[in-house]
């Protein structure tokens, strides 16, 4: 009974890791045509990642609920919950934001030639 909340926390971490994997395998493709128009194809993997982040949030709610119900708290459970929250609600949304910024760079006429390393011009 003491480890049941940790199983919910591990499920939260699992959903967060799946979201990160889906974001990394985004398959965003940019095609330029001869007349200067660009077509950007963004597959549904980012949407699936958002769904897994929502599932992680739902499981995170039940994690705390079950821990209070069974009165089962432990130092390891607190640390594991912090790690799961970091991955599911810190890393995964940050990576989605990165992919969307990359997509917005690609929409510009010379966006794929822009260096992201230095934003200042002299």
Domain segments of the chain as ranges:
4-108
| pTM: predicted TM-score of the whole model, two decimal places | 0.76
| Mean pLDDT, rounded, of the chain | 84
Q: Is the pLDDT of residue 19 over 60?
A: yes
Q: In residues, how long is the chain?
A: 122
At 92-110, the pLDDT tens digits run: 999 988 888 877 776 666 6
- Report the pLDDT value the prediction gives residue 116, as an integer from 0 to 100: 57
Token pair belonging to 68: 């209070």
- Report the pLDDT value the prediction gives residue 92, as an integer from 0 to 100: 95
84 vs 115, residue with greater confidence: 84
113 vs 3, residue with greater confidence: 3
Q: Is the pLDDT of residue 91 over 90?
A: yes
At 27-73, the pLDDT tens digits run: 667 777 888 777 777 666 888 999 999 999 999 999 988 988 998 88
- Measured in degrees and rounded to the nearest 5, phi and psi for residue 38 equal -125, 145
Q: How far is CA 10 from the centre of its chain?
A: 16
């Amino acid at each position: 009974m003491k480890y049941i909340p940790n199983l919910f926390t591990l499920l939260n971490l699992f959903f967060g890791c799946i979201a990160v994997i889906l974001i990394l395998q985004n398959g965003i493709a940019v095609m330029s045509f001869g007349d200067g128009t660009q077509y950007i194809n963004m597959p549904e993997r980012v949407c699936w990642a958002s769904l897994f982040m929502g599932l992680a949030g739902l499981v995170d709610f039940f994690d705390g609920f079950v821990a209070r119900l069974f009165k089962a708290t432990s130092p390891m459970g607190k640390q594991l919950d912090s790690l799961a929250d970091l991955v599911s609600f810190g890393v995964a949304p940050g990576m989605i934001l990165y992919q969307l910024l990359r997509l917005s760079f690609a929409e510009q006429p010379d966006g794929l030639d822009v260096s992201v390393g230095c934003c200042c011009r002299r």
